[in-house]
Structure 1
Amino acid sequence: MAAPAPSARHPESPPRDNDDVRRCRHPSNPRTTRDKGVNMKPIRSRRSRLVVVAAAALSLGLVLTSCAGTPGTPGGGSGDGAAPTSLTLAIGQDNNSFDTALLENGHRAQYWLPVYDTLLLMDKDAQIQPGLATSWTYNDDHTVLTLELRKDVKFSDGAAFNAAAVKANVEHLKAGTGQNSVMVSTVERVETPSEYVAELHLSEPNPALLAYLTFVAGAQGSPDALNNADFATKPVGSGPYLLDAAKTVQGTVYSYTRNPDYWNKDAFPYDTIELKPMAEATARMNALKAGQIDGASGSPATVAEAKAAGLNVTQQPLDREGLLLVDRDGSVTPAMGDARVRQAINHAIDTEGILKSIQQGFGTATDQVFNTTSVAHVPELDNAYPYDPAKAKALLAEAGYANGFDLLLPENASVAANPIIEQQLGEVGIRVTWDKVPNDSWITAIQSGKYSAFWMRLTAGDPWWDVQKSILPEGVWNVFDNTNPELQAHIDAARTASDDAAYASALQDVNRWLVKEAWFQPWFVADTVYFTAKNVNVTMHPQNVVPYIRGFAPAS
């Protein structure tokens, strides 16, 4: 999980969950059929939790040091109205690696997507579509996924793309140390019954797998290059572009030219692409207004400025913000082991007010952790805990805490809602003491087990993704490994569901249980914001904080 660029919430926000397949939002109909359109996220191991923590500490990239095109004519266009032939984007983080075992999603996906194809694709409605795999089927118990592969694809080094290449890439990712090795953790082996058929044999059903194959798990590098000593800086893929090493300077600019042998040229209209690491939101905005770049992530705070400058503004709901009430057994703070106390915290905080004041209304208030577009979403749960300090006090008294209790919370000065949290919890008797945590230590600190609750911004994504990262005991955000037999029964019912209706019903049961037991104190699902120049259209990826490269096109 990598630290993101300054978020839409605050100009210089603390690290949030990139998780990495980030910034994943949920498909409106994730399992349209049982073999096409699946949910996300395999179980986190202890090893993967440490990897996520370490990855989150990575520093942001450098600011813009060069520009493309003429000021006022983004993309290097001629200024005469002709469609641009080049695309220049600013990215909030520097690239970490081109090694397919170390790839990340989120902001960094834009670096590797030009050079690597994925086995499957996800469209704007979060439906699974063919990529390098033309079709896919599961066996009856969903433990074998069979992929039929394209027969007309070669890697840029001339090697053939085939089932053997799929096997090599899955094994390379699984054996690697990257945070996304967890995506193939349930793949026990890959068999190749013929040259263009690959079978992924699973240890257990994984409702996330098809979606993962649209992300890092599906990225295909040349099998002859996977173990090259310089693979991290010299990618060899079958993608629409080639990295231009002569014009690339790590930390400053990454330059790409068309792959002349690409099998799907029409899907990518630009001849060249330049990607510039640029950590500061202000620098990105200035570069957009000056015509030095064509696209960059933005924030609600700068939407008015972007519109006034004539930029295109695109937004979509993506991240859930609020408190994670992780000490559900009362291991550190005994009061937190009582569901009534956690319910009181939900009633004590004015989430609608926070959405308006901190997020400037760019989002949707909710009391559940699942996205409003998810099959797990239950509309009546959105206002399960209305702001009601009197009710909060009554619940505390009922739980034996009429005089309140002390609660230690980690403080990052970048979280603008801190004063609101302290004031409103204090008004019902919960006395907050802040423990200052530096921005670059945030993820490590909150996962240390020292704190019973903490602020976090997480993806409100695919429901299975959310279950596995935040709810199962081995989930990376289930810090105290909490579990419950009733909850686990609902989860197991979802995992083994025989059809879409049963799957949705089981996940809704998970949702109802979580809200009743107040495992979380969500505030809202925030909108992610992306800005582009007037002559560039963009289609947002439904489960990533920034668009995929195939989502950019000249404005018609």
Structure 2
Amino acid sequence: MAMFAHRPRRSVHQVRLLVAAALLTVGSLTACSGTAEEGGGGDDAVLTMAVAAPPTLDPYKANIDLNNIPTVALAYAPLIRMNADRTFTGELAESFGYVDRQNKVFQLKLRPGLTFADGTPLDAPAVVKSLEYMRTVSPKAKTWAATIASITAPDAATVVVTNSSPNPVMRQLFSQAILSGSVVSPAGLTDPGQLAQRTFGAGPYQLDPAGTVAGDHYTYLPNPRYWNKDGQHWKKVVVRVLPDANATVQAIQAGQIDYAALNADAGPAVAAAGLKHITASVAVLGMVLADRDGTVAAPLRDVRVRQALNHAIDRATIAKTIFGEFAHPTSQIAAPGFDGYQAALDDRYPYDPDRAKALLTEAGYPNGFTVKAEAHTPGIAAVAQVVAGQWKKIGVTVELTTDTQVPQWLEHVMSRKFPVTAFGYGNLPTYLSSLDFMRPVANPFNPYATDDAQLRQALDRAIAEPDPATQAGLFQQAVARLTDLAWFAPVVRMDGIAVTGSRVAPLEAAADNGLPSVVTVRPAT
């Protein structure tokens, strides 16, 4: 999708938005050309996969989406690996963890003898230089790593990250799931502009410029200096840019593509074709009831109105009608497997138009009201249109505007022109999502910088709590409070779909946005 092509100064909020929005388009055969030798249908040791749009090769400028995660993972090894069960093991770092009780000081010990693909030694000073570059250019760092005060290398094997305030997600931050721990060679950082066209990592593969045509296909060959030879499953990986999901399904059927990650809209076609696939929740879609102080839309000041709007949404029908079996109704922003999730909150606002009307009457709006709303991208707009129709049944008229470009949507949202907006948001740990959803800082998901003392206190306790179980309970309290406040009207959790051809071994769901990392994809035996 053209609108998701990389822009160097993209905001961190836009990056998070694109985690979901990038799932609303993927792969087409129309751009697929080349010989059988280059991929699908040819050598069993060659993997050919599809992405929706040209990737960004600079790992720190890349959006966390289905276009960029695979290409970054191929060439750049993370410091830490997040496993399928969301536990963590060492990758470039053989050990890691907090060395204080406040979740402020995080230490990593590197494996001995590491080398970048270009032959440069991978030691602690090189990691520090890479992470400092990340802090400078990464849109993610502007919020997710904003607490980092210093990164030092007390010796050649040790990296110490010190935060100015508690940051409990340093493991995630330096894993493949967030990309910020994808270490870049000092040779690449001598001229950072070259990172857009070449790779300077320590991952299992490296870009082959001779086999690459930017914007069409990218070829990766094994990195002879990779530390874990058992992690190299292919003699070549070809990444093709294919913009239509239905054609991608046909290409997999024809044996021309071996692997693709698709959005929930493609689910019926995948199921009808009988293709091997796995699914995992990757994002939540819904409505931001943004004007909680009633600055533009006075009715939204009353929590009963916001709760009424939640009760007026038939989530199950929306999930089935738009996404088939590949989306699930929910009333909360947290997802299964993350620390703030509670299954009971999925049905916190059951579909009940009578209850919705009663709440509107109690709040002083027996005849409803009119409100302006804004949406963007086809998938998110489709959800918003159905929600608007359901709200109409309780007397709430929505004047819906649909933007075609995310930057335009962001501009309108941040100018507070629309008291209600539609959103898509990739699944994240509660600490990271709270920076958008729960903190009184103006951003596209809280443009009016709404504050709630009880919510803020729960978050403050959670982020400083060293015990994971206690911390998870505190994050659950925060998510429950957010849900009761009805600052949002979540509608569905949308699945991503990893689809494979006959030459690929069965997949296991993993922690890269819920879908397997491409480096774990193996040939069929």
Scaled by the length of structure 2, what TM-score is found? 0.89
User: Which one has a larger percent helix, Structure 1 or Structure 2?
Assistant: 2
Aligned partner of 2:290 in structure 1 is 326
Q: 2:409 and 2:508 mapped to 1: Cα distance?
A: 32
2:394 equivalent to 1:428? yes
Aligned partner of 2:321 in structure 1 is 357
Q: 2:285 and 2:35 mapped to 1: Cα distance?
A: 38
Which residue of the other structure, out of 159, 162, 168, is the alignment partner of 2:129?
Answer: 168
**Deviation readout 1:41-60 (Å, 9 max, x if unpaired):** xxxx9964478789999998
**1:175 is aligned with what amino acid?**
T
Provide the secondary structure at the position in 2 that maps to 1:147. Answer: strand
Q: Say which is worse superposed, 434-443 or 107-116, in terms of deviation.
A: 434-443
**1:224 is aligned with what amino acid?**
A
Aligned partner of 1:548 in structure 2 is 517
Q: 2:411 and 2:155 mapped to 1: Cα distance?
A: 46
Aligned partner of 1:94 in structure 2 is 54
Query: 1:281/1:175 Cα in 2 relative to 1: closer, same or farther (>3 Å)?
Result: same
**Deviation readout 1:487-539 (Å, 9 max, x if unpaired):** 11111111122422321221121122112211111122122112110221333
**Deviation readout 1:316-349 (Å, 9 max, x if unpaired):** 1221122111111111101111100000001111
What pairs with 1:219-234 in structure 2 (closer than 5 Å)? 219-228=182-191, 229-234=193-198
2:429 equivalent to 1:462? yes
- Greater relative contact order structure (CA < 8 Å, 6+ sep): 1
Q: Say which is worse superposed, 297-306 or 347-356, in terms of deviation.
A: 297-306
Aligned partner of 2:203 in structure 1 is 239
Query: 1:449/1:57 Cα in 2 relative to 1: closer, same or farther (>3 Å)?
Result: farther
Q: 1:463 and 1:435 mapped to 2: Cα distance?
A: 30
2:336 equivalent to 1:368? no
Query: 1:68/1:471 Cα in 2 relative to 1: closer, same or farther (>3 Å)?
Result: farther
Q: 1:493 and 1:422 mapped to 2: Cα distance?
A: 37
Q: 1:436 and 1:66 mapped to 2: Cα distance?
A: 32
**2:125 is aligned with what amino acid?**
A
RMSD between superposed Cα atoms in Å: 3.0
Runs of 4+ in 1 over 6 A off after TM superposition: 50-62
Q: Say which is worse superposed, 533-542 or 264-273, in terms of deviation.
A: 533-542
Aligned partner of 2:371 in structure 1 is 407
Which residue of the other structure, out of 73, 81, 88, is the alignment partner of 1:113?
Answer: 73
Q: How many pairs align?
A: 512
Identify unmatched segments of 5+ residues in structure 1.
6-17, 21-44, 79-83
**Deviation readout 1:455-512 (Å, 9 max, x if unpaired):** 2221233222221232212355222211111111111111122422321221121122
Q: 1:52 and 1:204 mapped to 2: Cα distance?
A: 22
Scaled by the length of structure 1, what TM-score is found? 0.85
Identify unmatched segments of 5+ residues in structure 2.
none
**Deviation readout 1:418-470 (Å, 9 max, x if unpaired):** 44323321221112222343355444434442111122221233222221232
**2:102 is aligned with what amino acid?**
D
Q: 1:244 and 1:3 mapped to 2: Cα distance?
A: 27
Provide the secondary structure at the position in 2 that maps to 1:515. Answer: helix
State the identity as a percent: 29
- Contact 1:349 1:421 (8 Å CA) reproduced: yes
Which residue of the other structure, out of 483, 493, 499, is the alignment partner of 1:531?
Answer: 499
Q: 2:159 and 2:476 mapped to 1: Cα distance?
A: 34
Q: 1:518 and 1:46 mapped to 2: Cα distance?
A: 29
**2:61 is aligned with what amino acid?**
L
- Contact 1:145 1:199 (8 Å CA) reproduced: yes
Provide the secondary structure at the position in 1 that maps to 2:347. Answer: coil
Q: Say which is worse superposed, 289-298 or 270-279, in terms of deviation.
A: 289-298
Which residue of the other structure, out of 198, 207, 210, is the alignment partner of 2:168?
Answer: 207
Q: 1:513 and 1:198 mapped to 2: Cα distance?
A: 37
- Contact 1:310 1:534 (8 Å CA) reproduced: no
